Amino acid sequence: MNQKTEIPELGFTALIRFAWRQLTSMKTALILLMMMGLGAIPGSVIPQRSVNPIAVRDFFDAHPTLSAWYDRFSLFDVYSSPWFSAIYILLFISLIGCVLPRTIEHFHAMRAEPPITPRNLNRMEQFATWQSSEDSLEKATIWFKKNRFRVRREADSISAEKGYLRETGNLFFHLSLILILIGVSFGSLFGLRGEAIVNTGERFVNVPTSYDTLSLGKLTSDSDLSPFTITLDKFLGVYDPKTNIPKDYTAYVSVTDGGVKKKEVIKVNSPLTFGSTRVYLQANGYSPIVTVRNEDGSVAFQGPVTFLPQDGNLRSIGSIKVPDAQVPVGFVASFLPTYARSTDQGGVSIFPELLDPKLLFSIWSGDLGLDSGIPQSVYRMDTTNMKNLGLGSLKIGETFKYPGGSITLEGVIPWVNLQIVEDRGKGFALVGGISAILGLLASLYGRRRRIWIRVTDSQVEVAALSKNNAPGLEDEMKSLTEHLKG
Amino acid sequence: MNTTWAYISNYCVYSAMAIFTFSFLAHAFETAWAVRAPQNSDSSDESLLAKTFDYKRTERAARIATALMILGTAVLLAGIVFRGISAGHAPWSNMYEFSITGAFAFSIAYLAALRKYDLRWLGLFISFSVLLTLGTAITLLYRNSSPLVPALKSTWLVIHVTTAIICGGIFLLANVIAGAYLFLDRYEEVGARPVWALRIPSLEVLDQLSYRLIAFVFPLWTFSVIAGAIWAESAWGRYWGWDPKETWAFITWVAYAVYLHARVTVGWRGRRAAWLCIFAGSTFLFNYVYVNVWGTGKHTYSGLNK
Ligand code: HEM
């Protein structure tokens, strides 16, 4: 047996056309949609860098080999991974390729007359017939007009149609999905997202160097940052005295924007807006203000040091590094806004406000490792090459002396973490979302139906057909026949 | 925060449980008592239903069962409202509160659908599930009433959560109906339905009913997701962050979109559609249970993992 499979000779353009038709078929779109749903799953199970970088690091420590493989498939960055992007870009193209032609078609259909009355009306979903009367067609025309049907009048019949809103709504919905996708991609290409910790009294200037972390969209450049400054005048956190749960956070700020000075308030659910940039209150904590002196009394360091909260009562940890002291010294410290002792944990905080603040620390001297080139957390200190000089604790105004110097707790101020986000696409996404819902409603509840009437010498025939078996056609038929007979 | 109101709320929830128990018993009685012992084969042309089932005998029990269901739902609503008063905000800040509100949404969805369709056969199941949910909620998930953390104080959140809970009730109802479809389908394939299931509407009606429910709820779910995104934008600075909860809300949305397409454009009916419906509904349940309890996203406000 020598059978050759006949493969038709495909030219390049034919091939392209074939691929395009495949891609823009609804089946492909639905498969892509389903793949997007499935593809989203791993990101909800495996920790994501964008959501929880610390969990990712822990995962790497716990499962080194597995993590390497995960990383190879971008499973720690699912939603920005090449394969996930590929799915939604293909879906995007597929949607466009399938919805645009349908829109054009629909546009023509809407302006065309309804199709010719078919010959056999008695095969339709609804059918009625009775003795003819003269003016049935005229009466029917009136009824169709009143009910806003589009009609096609022929010699002995009328073909009427209504419910184009269903298809319009449907197209509107699918086009809105495209708009949402545009909004999302626009936002990530031209966007900006960063965070900055600002102490009370400090000023944040919107330039890249002011940020603690900053990620720019692929097509965003440094110079796109809008020029504003924010000074934190005061921060207020209110807590429930019984449960310690935060009730309200308010940051009072002074703002300059394009030379205009203003006083503003930022709350958790009400960000500050500068054009398409918004500033959110994300987190807060305390910065103890300390003075570190050398043995001779000269000041080696003075200022607020940001501490990182560890629990709901704002027990915070931090490190005070003074490499320029005559004896280079560092403090591994924890700060407790309302101090108490617990038998198993030592010093703890029992309330998030500054009721009885205390700074606990251990003192270390030696190489702080700041010049080693290895990036260090500002909140922690590597004490492997250092010598312990003892433990201490301070209330506000107190000074602690150690061999080689002294440290004073001058006061405590709150800090806030501002999140600064620029998203120029979200307006599109919102409009897309709203119009998607409207389109959906029209598409799901719209009823497309046709009604025909034919008058012959002896008989009137009325018939009706609805798409998708939508209910209500029967009532409409009844109304029409009553009108014709009455 | 007010403890007295919290206690009153708890009493309401306990009372609602008692009432639902009675409703469950009345439904059970209705079903059990309606079965007539088959009389010596007097095979007239009476239908099997009339011969072996006599709902006239239990009509009163059925009415009482439904009345109890309405009463229980009303008392549960009172419990939710008082919980809200005690906390000083809409009572949707932990899993206990989600659960009692979800149970409420489920029974309301049933009662609303009951006005339009003859669904009383579902009552036994509904009263039992509500009972189970409330029982789990008050024993395992209970948390003291507490004020809201600042991020949760938002009108959009209230809108988002309200609509999401309503959607949940309807998703579950659609799932139950699809489940009934599959169950009965197996019987009908080999012969007749069991006697007690004769009153349940035809497969075709069940199929249509679950579709109607989903077509009704899909726009609402879309709205709920968007309301959540608007809230997230004002609280966290991004309207969509692929947080596990958001991801699963999206997956649920996709699953139902696929369901609608399968029905409307491909013409799936019956068994395949029912399986798809159940799959889509399970993604919602999964989101509720898994992400609230074990998840790590920003959305884990269940109050369980503190
Ligand atoms: C190229 C891609 C797509 C095509 C050709 C397409 C086509 C259609 C068609 C023909 C209908 C039925 C309209 C009717 O009979 O009234 C429909 C309905 C619908 N589509 Fe799509 N669709 C596509 C992609 C999507 C996507 C990505 C979604 C996202 C969720 C979606 C969601 C819906 C919904 C919710 C309905 C309403 C179903 C109903 O009327 O019951 N579609 N689509």
Structure confidence at residue A25 (pLDDT)? 77
The ipTM (two decimal places) reads: 0.80
Q: How many domains does chain B have?
A: 1
Residue B167 lies in a domain: yes
Look at the pTM and tell me if it is higher than 0.90: no
Distance, in Å, from the CA atom of A203 to the CA atom of A215, rounded to the nearest integer, reads 21
Structure confidence at residue B306 (pLDDT)? 34
In the structure, what pLDDT confidence band is assigned to residue A1 with cuts at 50, 70 and 90? Answer: very low
Residue A403 lies in a domain: yes
Residue A369 lies in a domain: yes
* Interface check A448 vs B, CB under 8 A: no
Tokens of B97: 């509160």
* Interface check B146 vs A, CB under 8 A: yes
Residue B274 lies in a domain: yes
Domain around B211: 149-306
Same domain, A303 and A406: yes
Same domain, A291 and A385: yes
> Would the CB of B266 count as within 6 Å of ligand 1?
no
Residue A441 lies in a domain: no
Same domain, A279 and A426: yes
pLDDT digits (tens, 9 = 90+) for B24-79: 888 877 777 766 555 544 444 445 544 555 666 677 778 888 888 899 889 889 88
Residue B261 lies in a domain: yes
Which range (A15-19, A42-46, A271-275, A366-370) has the least confidence? A366-370
Same domain, A210 and A251: yes
Q: How many domains does chain A have?
A: 4
Q: For a pLDDT cut of 70, what percent of chain A falls above it?
A: 96
pLDDT digits (tens, 9 = 90+) for A181-197: 888 888 878 888 888 99
Same domain, A424 and A278: yes
By most ligand atoms within 8 Å of CB, the mutation choice from A99, A170, A435 for ligand 1 is A170
Same domain, A242 and A342: no
Domain around A204: 187-284+419-434
Q: How far is A91 from chain B (nearest CA, A)?
A: 13
Residue A465 lies in a domain: yes
Residue ID of nearest Cα to ligand 1 atom 43: B261
Same domain, A323 and A240: no
Residue A73 lies in a domain: yes
Residue B278 lies in a domain: yes
Residue A173 lies in a domain: no
Instruction: Indicate which atom in ligand 1 lies nearest the CA of residue A94.
Output: 1
Same domain, A280 and A291: no
Helix (H) or strand (E) holding A137: helix A136-146
Distance, in Å, from the CA atom of A171 to the CA atom of A177, rounded to the nearest integer, reads 10
Residue B27 lies in a domain: no
Residue B128 lies in a domain: no
* Interface check A423 vs B, CB under 8 A: yes
Same domain, A457 and A356: no
Residue A351, SS3 per DSSP: coil
Residue A3 lies in a domain: no
> Would the CB of A26 count as within 6 Å of ligand 1?
yes
Same domain, A280 and A292: no
Residue B246 lies in a domain: yes
Residue A141 lies in a domain: yes
Same domain, A320 and A404: yes
Residue B96 lies in a domain: no
Structure confidence at residue B282 (pLDDT)? 93
Structure-model confidence comparison of residues B51 and B280, the more confident one: B280
